[in-house]
Structure 1
Amino acid sequence: MKKHIILLLIILMLITSIAISGCSNNSKTSETSNTSESAQNEVLTFKFAMVDNESSNYYKGAKKIAEEVAKSTNGKINIEVVAGGALGDERSTVELAMNGDLDIATAANSVLTNWIPEMSILDQAYLWDNADQAHAAVDGEVGNLIEAKAEELGLHVIGYMESGFRNVFSKKPIKDISDFKGVKIRTMQNEYHMAAFESFGAMPVAMPAGEQFTALQQGTIDACENAISNCLANGFYEVTKNITYTNHAFVYIIVAMSDNAWDKIPEDLREPFLEGVKKGYEAQRQYLVEANTEAEKKLKELGVAFHTIDTNVLKAAYKETAAKRKFTFDPEWQAAVDKAIASVNN
């Protein structure tokens, strides 16, 4: 009898143990399921830093990127655009992104040249005859080269906005290369841009962008150069009543993401994310065209005169100076540039 009672107790203990174990496993399965569901529903938010203000076409483009990314990822990725240099200038925000302390930074291609010297090929004057060539380059093999080098720095280049071709804003009319003689013109600290104006007969003066308006007022410089919309946005028309269509240089605005931020994007969302970014930066390119057209109209109303100049003469002068100074570039990058030009010309 005792044996039967003991056996019965053992059976009851086994049944109880199995039941408890089953409940525990069901609880763990439920927790795992809830965690997985929570991860899928989590919204990623990235900070996107830029130096341009909220009235610029660049900010409009950045907001379009944010809009398109939200749409293409079904709201799973949110981009917060921080404008006006609130998080630092171009160089410092790129460094923050490299260190993983900022999600997305923007910078002119000449800024990235500090870390990717091969990119200096893009700083040349009269590199592109038109915007189609410039786009073919970064949307093709030149872009691939930039992206590979950037990854070594802890950055993912995800897009190419632009400020496009630059023109000259001057106090006196400039209609011929001879009119550049003795003109003190503000440029970026860029040897190729400065060499171009030297070849035209001008006197390039490198200074920070924020100082040029006062320098124009005080007569420290006679001219500056940038996209036409920049002349209106920064009030240069108050002291420079002439704009010359030199189209001497083309400037990209690189959009780069930190490794830390990129690694947070789930694999299945990376392609939709990049598709959204592309739609946004392609829209910015059109916003720039519209901004320049609108600015030209308003500037003419404000009494600014627009002048054409023989750019073939300017290009020849620069090429001669470049040859004398023996400007050479990485063969692989030169081949990629040549291929972009040929793809459009053919």
Structure 2
Amino acid sequence: MKNVISRRSFLKAAGIIGASAALAACGGSSASTAGSTAGSTAGAAASGESVTFTLSMVDNEQSNYYKGAQAIADSVNEATNGQFQIKVVAGGTLGGESDTLDMAIQGDLDIASCANSVLANYIPEMSILDQAFLWDSQDQANYAVRNELGDLIQEKANAQGIHVIGYMESGFRDVFSKKPIQTMADFNGVKIRTMQNDGQLLAFTSFGANPVALAAGDQFTALQQNTIDACENAVSNCWVNKFYEAGVTSVTKTHHCFVYIPLCMSDNAWKKIPDDMKDTFVEAVWAGCEKQWQYLNEANEEAIGLLEGVGVTMYDIDTDELKSAYEAKKASSGVTYDETWQAAVDAAKAAQA
């Protein structure tokens, strides 16, 4: 990937440089337990014995996210000569994103994967990422978390007793609807299931739609029963979940938001990695993440063709009109963000203009 964060800057942010101080600062109820086992486990790793970490995800084994997680596992295995293994548990077997993030923070799960809006429940400043039309490109979005913005997230995450070791992503999201949405006026009165965060609710309200609170797993039935008229996600999600069988006939390329999937490692697990292997481990995770980004793009491109093959129509839309409506609504609502975090976002946008 182009434009990556400097090695020292990222490792410092992750707590690799000055690890003792960072770990002491994390504290929390899990610290004493981790302290009692970290030395022996790290010693085992140093002696060549394998240590296995469990990574939980809600997506199923047919998804590009699972394929990406396996790429991360393979990358870590290769980079550490098998001393560290990652076991991927998919399909929400260990719980939903919020539950598993809580488990990681408490030290009961090694690695949780969750949407950035879920992590924002612990790091309120991250709500800046929930804005509609925040990033102009995938490169811009990824640059941000590899630089100043990523450093800010890491600092806050460390204070919660977790370490963000990389970012997968579900990328830009589009709208899937039962009737064509070709202009902003077509959003009027549309009942759409959206992510339940202030940024997305504000966006679709500004378009004239009626956002609906609904669990992700209930969308198919809700479409069938006309409880909702539309939903939104990465376009590959429309194909994987077979929403076309529930009445979806149209995909509108709104690209209204970009979603990250931070990988949050518990402090307990972090301490099991010897200091002299932490950089190798983290860099291997990032290498696997970059493969997932590629898998996502490939899955989205493939999904477009497959959806068109079953009669789903793809529509472009005037995103400038949508953005103007959103910005006006945001201004009237008085939404503001932390100045330091806003500066980091602005820096990333300028660097990848």
TM-score, normalized by the shorter chain, greater than 0.5: yes
For 1:285, give the aligned amino acid.
W
* Cα distance, 1:196 vs structure 2: 0.6
Matched residues in 2 for 1:131 and 1:275: separation? 20
Match of 1:95 in 2: 102
After superposition, where does 1:29-68 map in structure 2 within 5 Å? Answer: 40-68=47-75
Inter-CA distance 159–38: structure 2 relative to 1 (3 Å threshold): closer
CA RMSD of aligned residues (A): 1.1
Q: Does 1:242 align with 2:250?
A: yes
Q: Which of 279, 287, 291 in structure 2 is aligned with 1:279?
A: 287
Does the CA-based 8 Å contact 2:46-2:274 persist in structure 1? no
For 1:312, give the aligned amino acid.
D
Q: Which of 199, 205, 221 in structure 2 is aligned with 1:192?
A: 199
Does the CA-based 8 Å contact 1:46-1:104 persist in structure 2? yes
Matched residues in 2 for 1:272 and 1:50: separation? 23
Inter-CA distance 200–37: structure 2 relative to 1 (3 Å threshold): closer
Does the CA-based 8 Å contact 2:45-2:274 persist in structure 1? no
Q: Does 1:344 align with 2:352?
A: yes
* Cα distance, 1:38 vs structure 2: 8.6
Q: Does 1:167 align with 2:174?
A: yes
* Max Rg structure: 1
Match of 2:134 in 1: 127
Q: Which of 179, 187, 194 in structure 1 is aligned with 2:186?
A: 179
Q: Which of 139, 153, 162 in structure 2 is aligned with 1:155?
A: 162
Inter-CA distance 65–179: structure 2 relative to 1 (3 Å threshold): same
Matched residues in 1 for 2:76 and 2:275: separation? 15
Match of 1:143 in 2: 150
Match of 1:332 in 2: 340
Match of 2:220 in 1: 213
Does the CA-based 8 Å contact 1:93-1:102 persist in structure 2? yes
Q: Does 1:307 align with 2:307?
A: no
* Cα distance, 1:189 vs structure 2: 1.3
Q: Does 1:85 align with 2:87?
A: no
Q: Which of 84, 105, 111 in structure 2 is aligned with 1:104?
A: 111
* Cα distance, 1:300 vs structure 2: 0.5
5+ long unaligned stretches in structure 2: 1-42
1:201-252 per-residue CA deviation (whole Å, 9 max, x = no partner) reads 1111121101111111111110000000000011111210100000001000
Match of 1:25 in 2: none
Does the CA-based 8 Å contact 1:188-1:208 persist in structure 2? no
1:26-83 per-residue CA deviation (whole Å, 9 max, x = no partner) reads xxxxxxxxxx799512111100111110000000000000000011111110111000
Inter-CA distance 247–38: structure 2 relative to 1 (3 Å threshold): closer
Matched residues in 2 for 1:94 and 1:101: separation? 10
Matched residues in 1 for 2:341 and 2:46: separation? 42
Matched residues in 1 for 2:48 and 2:125: separation? 42
After superposition, where does 1:280-295 map in structure 2 within 5 Å? Answer: 280-295=288-303
| More displaced stretch, 305-314 vs 126-135 | 126-135
1:258-281 per-residue CA deviation (whole Å, 9 max, x = no partner) reads 000000101121111111101100
Q: Which of 320, 324, 337 in structure 2 is aligned with 1:316?
A: 324
Does the CA-based 8 Å contact 1:58-1:284 persist in structure 2? yes
Does the CA-based 8 Å contact 2:45-2:83 persist in structure 1? no
SS at match of 1:216: helix
1:103-134 per-residue CA deviation (whole Å, 9 max, x = no partner) reads 00000000011110000000000111111111
Does the CA-based 8 Å contact 1:49-1:85 persist in structure 2? yes
Q: Does 1:254 align with 2:231?
A: no
Q: How many residues align?
A: 310
Match of 1:225 in 2: 232
For 1:307, give the aligned amino acid.
Y
Q: Does 1:73 align with 2:80?
A: yes
Matched residues in 2 for 1:42 and 1:50: separation? 26
Match of 2:15 in 1: none
5+ long unaligned stretches in structure 1: 1-35
For 1:302, give the aligned amino acid.
V
Match of 2:7 in 1: none
For 1:263, give the aligned amino acid.
K
